[in-house]
Structure 1
Amino acid sequence: MNLADVPREKLSPMMQQYAATKEKYSDCIVFFRLGDFYEMFFEDAILVSRELELTLTGKECGLEERAPMCGVPYHSVELYLKRLVDKGYKIAICEQMTDPALSKGLVERDVIRIVTPGTLIESSMLEDDSNNYICTLYYGNDGSCALCFADLSTGEMSLTVPQEASDLSVRIMDVLSRYMPAELVMNSQALSLKSVMDFIKVRLQCAVSLRDDICFDPVQNRELVCQQFGVPSLDLLGMTEDGADVSAVCGMLDYIRETQKRNIARFVSIEVADSASAMGLDLNARRNLELTETIRNKERKGSLLWLLDDARTAMGKRLLKTWLEQPLVQPVKIMARLDAVDAFVKKSLVLMEVRDLLNNVYDLERLMTRVIYQKATPRDLKSLSMTAQQLPELKAQLRQLAGDSRLLATLEQQISPLERVCTLVENAIVDDPPITLKDGGVIRDGFHEELDRQRHIMNGGTQIIDEILQREKERTGIKGLKIGYNRVFGYYLEVTRSYYDLIPSDYIRKQTLANSERFITEELKNVENEILGAKDRVLRLEEGIFSEVRDCLAAMLKKVQETAAAVAQVDVLASFANVAIENDYTKPEIAVDGSIQITGGRHPVVERMLTEEMFVPNDTYLDTKAQRMLMITGPNMAGKSTYMRQVALITLMAQIGSFVPAEYAKISVVDKIFTRIGASDDLTAGQSTFMVEMKEVSDILNYATKNSLVILDEVGRGTSTLDGVSIARAVAEYISSRKIGCKTLFATHYHELLDLEQEIDGVKNYSVAVKKHGDTIRFLRKIVPGGVDDSYGIAVAKLAGLPDQVVKRAKELLAEMEAQTAVSAPKQTAQTGQISFAAMQQERAIATLQKTHLAELSDAECRELLADLTSMLS
């Protein structure tokens, strides 16, 4: 049964209420509160019962046929919400706004929140060590673009305006892949960015919502932005009055207000990201360097994040990931972090004390979010207090390092001891509070006078009744006076026949028995009402007091947020220090001469993962003059890729402020790291391995600068040998020339490229040392000067376990082809056994002429052919 096909006038009043709500929130699953359950009806019920494997029942709805229905208990609703959100659904929570026991007629209901993948704040629905970002993407008719990212659970908000307009889609995808938002909100014009839309569908796979242009309109929402961040004008935030940047922020605030149905005070600041403030790392670099997950299994273990993350707090873990994906490019800031890590390393006892204190620090950012949105539990408040209790000693420990690190001194000043938080919570909340407020027992005795009185009434009802009885005996002289209770009359005074003459006039007769009379008094009735209603009043009082305490804590948001940010930085820096001590890392020098010098460098992750052998360290020297490009040859599996990745990782680690795996390192800041390592068919986009490879190379050639670091592995291998060598050589010439002239590691099997060392200043040949014994080889994992003298392909195949018969046949075929090559290519060099690049170009020219019929060509086509042949042979 579909709700849209049902006549509304025939539905029951409650079901009409549901239908009106569902019509208003047609793109959501409506969780409709009925007593202790959230119920779903009609198509929502069918959908949820299927997705969550719940029993589908029915409910009378005013029609002949019962409405499909399924439900979930309200006290465990988060479990079910999480499963639906993970599947990409949006849920509208329709709550009872009036007490059913006090309502006359239909209970009032309204949607109090829309739960979406990007607006989660519940700890049970979030990963502690990862941000949960929502992104607004605004693309204007004039080609301008901006992206705003927010994490409701932590109060972070940032704005990015892609600068390189020559290929805007690439920049947008790079930014999206950096944040990996759980939800994307955009205007309709953004749909014209086809490659971005494909990327969102294939790579991000996040929830997407289209919003009307009015939601992004700065004219409508400009004042809201200024009010939100407490500034009189947008230029103080680094934003324009009516550009794409403010439109993206307006869209974000509008969406949060729409989904949360309340004040959005959680966001107190916004970071306007400067494209030049962080190292450029595109999607390929992050993936190939395995910064946060491995390429093969998409697992955290085996990534650089896994290695470096020894943070003690959830806030620190999230910040470490942010630092890892956005390395610094300002030498002063890098050195400040390195000095802070060095201070911890040199005073390891202080480091141990700090890390012990951080063990007892809870997630201040997400705790305060739950406070702001009135979702905090009594135990959440206690966690805030317990954290605040650690801060004075944490500050004291940091003061011991202040003379060694200006950054740590600054962070110590930014950390507030939060005395008011601690005092308020400790005075108000019991030591071991229950999880929820519903059963009471949350507020400490002595904190609220009226609450104490009601508790006394609730817990001391018998004593109060006994005191009334004693007073009445003394007042009336009725020594045999008794007080009883039944469900009909409540509390009553019972007087036997012998005392009838002493009954006072204010006694109200309620019942006559054979030998006695039962009475009530105004005082007894009032006490009865107090005793019987005391528990309800205690629960209501506790709820109100708890809300007041929570609101007081919410008013301290800015101070707590600043403290949380500083504590997170201390945690990351302490984590770097501990990892450096455990793994024997060294403090890198930060240079400005453009050189990278590494002595005894090691791949941080591979070294950690090795269990049965020692990692072989290697030296590296790169600059922007005499040694710009290292042309690296050697067989597969010998360690070329590992070596190149380790150089990139050591550089990146230095720029996030971490010590590095080397005996010595001097690192000049690089503005971008590009990688072209391996490729696989992008079947979803209909692109082959070679096409993917060429697109990646194209990005490098278009966006690399003199200050970039480029890693190239086997460029040109996805096509024929002649084409591959030609492309590889042309790429190497272009990068190594003054056109770019950046630091480059270029691994190749094309030995023809070794000639570049003699032809282009700045290109140097290196190879992986191999020890050969007859038909067997052993990789020494050492990078040495000079090109390799053999490709060792068949030897590597044998090492990989190919059957002997296959290896033997391969040798025979190789001998035959070498003999043929010797005849057709007399310029084969005696040293390497390879065809020279010039000889290959001659072969290509001859092949072109053999396939050409000159009589069929026009004069213009002949001139074009002659130009092509001249180019080949020049």
Structure 2
Amino acid sequence: MSTERIEADFSAALDTPMMRQYMDIKAKFKDSVLFFRMGDFYEMFLEDAKIASAILDIALTKRQNSVPMCGIPYHSKDAYIAKLLSAGKKIAICEQSKPDDSNPKLMTREVVRIITPGTVIEENLLSGYRSNYLCMILPKTALVFVGMADVSTGEVLQFAISVSDPEGLSAELEKFQPSEICVLEKDKERILGWERLGEKNFTVLPASAEGGNEVKDPFHSVRNCLEYYVRENYRDGSLTLREAKVLNAGSFLEMDRETILNLELTENEYGKNHTLFSVLNFCHTAKGKRLLKQRILFPETDLAVLESRWEKQDLLRKIPSQPILQSLKDLGDLERILTRFRNNKSAPRDFRTILTAIETAFSLKETLHAIGYPIRYPIAKLTDLETYIRERLHTEELPVILGNGKFLKDEFLPELDRAREAGSKGMDWILELEASEKKSTGLSTLKIKYNKIVGYFIEISRNQAEQAPKEYLKKQTLVTTERFTNSRLEEIERAILESDDTIRILERTEFEKMTAEVLRFTNELLELSEEFGDLDFQLSLIKAEENYGWTRAKFSQNSGSFMKDSRHPVVEAALPVGSKFVPNDVQLDTGDNAIAILTGPNMAGKSTFMRQIALNQILFQIGSCVSATKAELPIVDKLFTRIGAGDNLTAGESTFFVEMKETAHILRNCTSQSLLLFDEVGRGTSTYDGMSIAWAILEFLSEMPRRPKTVFATHYHELTELSRLPGIWNIHMETLEKDDKVLFLKKVKPGKAKKSFGIYVAQLAGVPETVVKRAGEILSDLESRKKEIRIQTREPSLFQDFQPSSPEQTFWKEWKNEISSLPLDSMTPIEALRLLDEWKRKLNARKKSDQD
């Protein structure tokens, strides 16, 4: 077939009333896959069909042999929508309503909903209890204003970050992990230039979404943008967001993106297991789990908040927890249920969940009040709602979908009872009437039958038809029979045929009334959800303490950190039965022991030791017990870790460059109240470059007016000489050498390590013996050169390029007298080189002076 013919056929296929309608609607929703309702199917055409068929793995066909198309059954759309959302697509749902006045053969259609990754509320499209955030980024002159809305619960959180702190914005995005990020069209190019945001896909909003120039408060502008986008997606205007909560800077422990990832707080590369969240998560409610995750990512800096949590835990320890946990176990996700109510997507079973929640509140009230536990949920106000629902709701199993089973209880509505009776006993009534009429008329051939055309009728043979009672009304005459009806049969028929519609109308009407009544108590139910979630959170922390043998840390008045027998809470929990974690003491203060230089071989446990310090600090600042036998901890304002690094090839950044950027961020932002954990800083470049950088970092920290608590793990053993500087001290991972083998004891001891045992570790890893042997030879050679440097420092005549003249020999004697008191034999290479440089500088200055 010629190209011209193909193009003509394609144009003809598009030039039909239905396809013209499709093209008009699609033009308004170019960034969405359009689900075009046609009877019992949603059809997709053209490019949408190609995209959807590939993602959904469904057949791609053609309409009129020209237009690409594919389709899915409307009743199973959710499974297909979930796949498209996972692929980052938006879906516009286009429904048909009534015949078009201008063309009766064509149905009118309109888009009723746009489903996007950040605006999902359907339970089967959400990821369990996890929050699903829609993000709005609004940069202004000095600050970037950010809003995070979980549309499924209505929660809105807002905060501001300095424009000059892209790392801070990156950290917040890592915490919230929004499913969708919105920006204004005018801001898109600017934001794309920011670090780690250039590779993201943004939803672009028009400038009008902000609300106009009259809106002066940037937080209000952010809110306007979020609400604009929600209205665009929920086109009936039914969905609303709750009042925004502003997260003020300094109210929570600050952690950058790398720290969150390094510490594996809520997830890791293997998924959700073996994280701090997984170890702490003994929660039974969706709200409790969300609160736990949120509090891990936003640890408190307010001692009063922590004391309140400790007080609650102490009260809860007075009573058995199992009855309370059993009550919480049956609670549904009230926040998301209320959102579905607001969007007309609630189900009959949601009323049972609300009723159960109120009943649980009643049952727990006396128990909690008896121990003085502070509960603030408005139990008195919810009494009316509980009574209202109980009077109406069916007491047994409720249907998933309204109309698929009983929703209202019997004897609530007499009309409904009659309709149900007609539906269930209609055939019994027919049989009873047949028996009664046959007996009263004496007509042996009388039968009551039904067909779709005539409906119910009394059938009598032609021979006996003349004997039919006068009140019988003739409906139809056949060859061998006559068909009649009477008032009683018409009454029964009407009841049977109308019962389904009556039930549907009555239950739908009452369902809508009950929905409206529930929504009147939205604030009270949200308070109840918050209280249950916090209670669940407190009990989860108590359970973790009991399971793992943790201890309540005291608050350190002097800002020092002390832990006796501390452990890594996640690693210890994951150990096989019978294995035991090797505990270690931790001692950091703001004085002589502020900065610990940690040395020791690979595999000895340096990284684990540092991470357990950080994780226990986070546990403390969420109100949990810590993994130690005894502890006294301060509240720190910022927690930074520089552990491991990867390159950023898309931005042309090497591993070392990324490492230095992270280090720079830490040094620029740390305070005296911060906790810093550095692991092998400087290893990504040459030995002396890296050592010099590490050396300078430690000097910088030592010279701070008030030093941040720091652990600096390194293989540069030369750095241990810095213990002579204020605030710096040495600790090391203990090892035991025996019979050419090394045992890593995992114990932290004061002092510096003897050596790194890197070659031994390489041997353990299976490096070929020839390579291991050669590495040993090279190491011996390098060690001898270190000694050579020290010798040359004390005897400059050994330098090959230096032959001292008489004046120079005189200078050397003076210089030698000056340095005679220094411990030259124990000097590090860096110290030795610095000493040589100083000697050469003074020698050159003397030469220049003599020449002048």
Q: Same fold (TM over 0.5)?
A: yes
Is this contact kept in 1: 2:563–2:628, CA < 8 A? Answer: yes
Does residue 159 (structure 1) correspond to residue 158 (structure 2)? The answer is yes
Quote how far apart the aligned CAs of 1:210 are: 0.9
Partner of 2:197: 200
Is this contact kept in 2: 1:378–1:429, CA < 8 A? Answer: no
Partner of 1:51: 55
Is this contact kept in 2: 1:385–1:426, CA < 8 A? Answer: no
Using the alignment, how far apart are the partners of 1:106 and 1:329 within structure 2?
63
> Where does structure 2 lack aligned partners over 5 or more consecutive residues?
795-821
Match of 2:723 among 745, 754, 757: 757
Report the secondary structure of 2:197's partner residue. Answer: helix
Quote how far apart the aligned CAs of 1:835 are: 3.0
Does residue 299 (structure 1) correspond to residue 271 (structure 2)? The answer is yes
Quote how far apart the aligned CAs of 1:541 are: 3.2
Partner of 2:95: 95
The residue type paired with residue 158 of structure 1 is L
Change (3 A) 1:833 1:417: farther
Does residue 717 (structure 1) correspond to residue 683 (structure 2)? The answer is yes
Does residue 671 (structure 1) correspond to residue 633 (structure 2)? The answer is no
Size of the alignment, in residue pairs? 810
Cα-to-partner distance string for 1:184-205 (whole Å, 9 max, x where unaligned): 0001343344576551355xx5
Change (3 A) 1:197 1:699: closer
| Larger deviation, residues 127-136 vs 447-456 | 447-456
Is this contact kept in 2: 1:599–1:665, CA < 8 A? Answer: yes
Change (3 A) 1:544 1:71: farther
The residue type paired with residue 348 of structure 2 is P
The aligned runs of 1:842-853 (5 Å cut-off) are: 842=835
Cα-to-partner distance string for 1:558-583 (whole Å, 9 max, x where unaligned): 11111111111111110110010010
Using the alignment, how far apart are the partners of 2:353 and 2:769 within structure 1?
66
The aligned runs of 1:256-275 (5 Å cut-off) are: 256-263=230-237, 266-275=240-249
Using the alignment, how far apart are the partners of 2:601 and 2:561 within structure 1?
25
Match of 2:346 among 367, 373, 376: 376
Quote how far apart the aligned CAs of 1:608 are: 1.9
> Where does structure 1 lack aligned partners over 5 or more consecutive residues?
221-240, 403-407, 855-861, 867-874
The residue type paired with residue 93 of structure 1 is I
Change (3 A) 1:607 1:462: closer
Quote how far apart the aligned CAs of 1:682 are: 1.9
Using the alignment, how far apart are the partners of 2:669 and 2:396 within structure 1?
59
Partner of 2:165: 168
Match of 2:22 among 18, 34, 51: 18
Using the alignment, how far apart are the partners of 1:73 and 1:248 within structure 2?
38
Change (3 A) 1:130 1:266: same
Cα-to-partner distance string for 1:788-826 (whole Å, 9 max, x where unaligned): 233333333334443443333222222223333333432
Quote how far apart the aligned CAs of 1:694 are: 0.7
Partner of 2:673: 707
Cα-to-partner distance string for 1:181-229 (whole Å, 9 max, x where unaligned): 0100001343344576551355xx5x52111111112557xxxxxxxxx
Partner of 1:741: 707
Using the alignment, how far apart are the partners of 1:481 and 1:130 within structure 2?
66
Is this contact kept in 1: 2:445–2:464, CA < 8 A? Answer: no
Change (3 A) 1:727 1:747: same
Using the alignment, how far apart are the partners of 1:45 and 1:535 within structure 2?
39
Partner of 1:213: 207
Partner of 1:589: 554
Is this contact kept in 1: 2:184–2:204, CA < 8 A? Answer: yes
Using the alignment, how far apart are the partners of 2:762 and 2:537 within structure 1?
45
Using the alignment, how far apart are the partners of 1:8 and 1:658 within structure 2?
70
Using the alignment, how far apart are the partners of 1:415 and 1:193 within structure 2?
52
Partner of 2:42: 38
Report the secondary structure of 1:841's partner residue. Answer: helix
Using the alignment, how far apart are the partners of 1:718 and 1:809 within structure 2?
23
Partner of 1:684: 650
Is this contact kept in 2: 1:597–1:665, CA < 8 A? Answer: yes
The residue type paired with residue 157 of structure 2 is S
Quote how far apart the aligned CAs of 1:486 are: 4.5
The residue type paired with residue 32 of structure 1 is F
Change (3 A) 1:271 1:688: same
Match of 1:563 among 528, 548, 553: 528
Partner of 2:358: 388
Report the secondary structure of 1:606's partner residue. Answer: helix
Using the alignment, how far apart are the partners of 2:682 and 2:274 within structure 1?
29
Quote how far apart the aligned CAs of 1:542 are: 2.8
Is this contact kept in 2: 1:440–1:539, CA < 8 A? Answer: no
Using the alignment, how far apart are the partners of 2:686 and 2:840 within structure 1?
14
Is this contact kept in 2: 1:218–1:250, CA < 8 A? Answer: no
Partner of 1:190: 187
Quote how far apart the aligned CAs of 1:429 are: 3.1
Quote how far apart the aligned CAs of 1:524 are: 5.3
Using the alignment, how far apart are the partners of 2:9 and 2:209 within structure 1?
31
Does residue 112 (structure 1) correspond to residue 112 (structure 2)? The answer is yes
Match of 1:255 among 210, 226, 229: 229
| Larger deviation, residues 626-635 vs 525-534 | 525-534
Using the alignment, how far apart are the partners of 1:640 and 1:186 within structure 2?
43
Is this contact kept in 2: 1:676–1:713, CA < 8 A? Answer: yes
Match of 1:180 among 177, 181, 185: 177
Using the alignment, how far apart are the partners of 2:95 and 2:408 within structure 1?
26
Quote how far apart the aligned CAs of 1:249 are: 1.1
Quote how far apart the aligned CAs of 1:471 are: 9.7
Does residue 410 (structure 1) correspond to residue 409 (structure 2)? The answer is no
Partner of 2:834: 841
Report the secondary structure of 1:424's partner residue. Answer: helix
Q: RMSD between aligned alpha carbons?
A: 3.5
Using the alignment, how far apart are the partners of 1:802 and 1:473 within structure 2?
101
Using the alignment, how far apart are the partners of 1:766 and 1:518 within structure 2?
104
> Identity, % of aligned pairs?
34
Is this contact kept in 1: 2:135–2:147, CA < 8 A? Answer: yes
Report the secondary structure of 2:666's partner residue. Answer: helix
Match of 2:418 among 449, 453, 456: 453
Cα-to-partner distance string for 1:91-132 (whole Å, 9 max, x where unaligned): 0111233599xx965433221210001111122222223111
Partner of 2:609: 643
Cα-to-partner distance string for 1:646-695 (whole Å, 9 max, x where unaligned): 11111111001110011111111000001111212222222111111110
